[in-house]
Amino acid sequence: MLRYLSTRLVRALLTICFVVTFAFVILRLSGDPALLILSPDAPPEAIEAFRKSWGLDRPLWEQYFHYFAAIAEGNLGRSMRDGRPALDLVLERVPATLALTIPALILKIGIGIPAGIYAALNRNKLADRLTMLFSVAGFTVPSFVLGLVLVLIFAVNLGWLPSGGSDSWVHGILPIITLGTAGAAVLARFTRSAMLEVLGQPYIRTASAKGLAWRRVVVDHALPNAAIPTVTIVGFMVGSLVAGAVVVESVFSWPGVGRLLVVAVANRDLAVVQTILLFVALTMVCANLTVDMLYGWIDPRLRTRRVAGAG
């Protein structure tokens, strides 16, 4: 188990390094940051001074190490637009995003997993067909279309709910439903196929052949085994809590991290984009690590098996 976890931890650290390198490389590839941040017709002395202060006049490998060191200290540069530290800008948007994504996640898990299990247990019956129909719709209807259609119905035509903004909890209802529906559909489809896969296994037949009640077979044998792939996708959803609402936040003008990212990309505010990129990578890696630990808890085989390059 310890060995298993340590390989995972090394992998997580490598991923972080990879993202930092990725950010560094595209930052340097995209042109001279001095010319990007200052205007091209700034006085040459100013450009020179900027280069010096950012260490751009030093060799590339030295810049690379400086970049790593700066990031480790939490120095991620300043926003070009208002000159505030990019990290502060991002952090102050996080609560707004979480206010959307956490209820949406609860909605996804609360609807998606039971629906998937129920559909698998009633395969090819009406409930299964309906669940699958819902899940196909969730997959093919883009979230911005769903969001806008909800706005059209509930805000424009019926006038029950506000169409955008974040003044009160009422404003959150439509974005949360939009986010939750799409995710629930994905999760239902995934859980269903995981359950069907497990239900076809010989040990399920053995369990029912030895006279176990079907209820016990499902609860004790099918569910724990189907949980393993489902946990992976839930982990991915948890990992994208911070940045999983880019499109929906834009639809509903919700002042979260996603909206900040879109505005920063449009303005080419590199420091902010880079901070969000790293932030997302960090949450994804943490979520993946948690999932890996959960595997060890759910799947006893992993605790004893020697893991050599598994993954």
Residues that bind another protein (CB under 8 A): 11, 14-15, 18-19, 23, 26-27, 29-30, 124, 128-129, 132-133, 135-136, 139-145, 148-149, 151-152, 156, 163, 189-190, 192-193, 196-197, 239-240, 243-244, 246-247, 250-251, 261-262, 264-266, 268-270, 273-274, 276-277, 280-281, 284-285, 288, 311
Residue closer to another protein by CB (options 166, 240) is 240
Shortest Å distance, C-beta 6 to another protein: 16
Shortest Å distance, C-beta 19 to another protein: 7
Q: Roughly what angle, to the nearest 10 degrees, separates helices 270-298 and 223-239?
A: 170
Residue closer to another protein by CB (options 127, 212) is 127
CA atoms of 146 and 140, how far apart (whole Å): 10
Are 227 and 113 within 8 A, CB to CB? Answer: no
Angle at 68 between CA 88 and CA 18, to 5 degrees: 100
Shortest Å distance, C-beta 30 to another protein: 4
Shortest Å distance, C-beta 309 to another protein: 9
Residue closer to another protein by CB (options 49, 56) is 56
Shortest Å distance, C-beta 98 to another protein: 16
Residue closer to another protein by CB (options 139, 169) is 139
CA atoms of 149 and 155, how far apart (whole Å): 10
Shortest Å distance, C-beta 262 to another protein: 5
- In 152-256, where does DSSP find H-type helix? 173-199, 202-209, 214-216, 223-239, 246-251
Residue closer to another protein by CB (options 4, 190) is 190
Tokens of 309: 């390059």
Nearest CA among 230, 231, 213, 232 for reference residue 221: 213
Residue closer to another protein by CB (options 35, 49) is 35
**Any residues with CB less than 8 A from the CB of 270 and at least 6 apart, and which?**
27, 30, 33, 36, 37, 77, 80
Tokens of 155: 């805000």
CA atoms of 136 and 189, how far apart (whole Å): 8
Phi, psi of 310 (to 5 degrees): -75, 150
Residue closer to another protein by CB (options 111, 281) is 281
Shortest Å distance, C-beta 169 to another protein: 23
User: Three-class SS of residue 85?
Assistant: strand
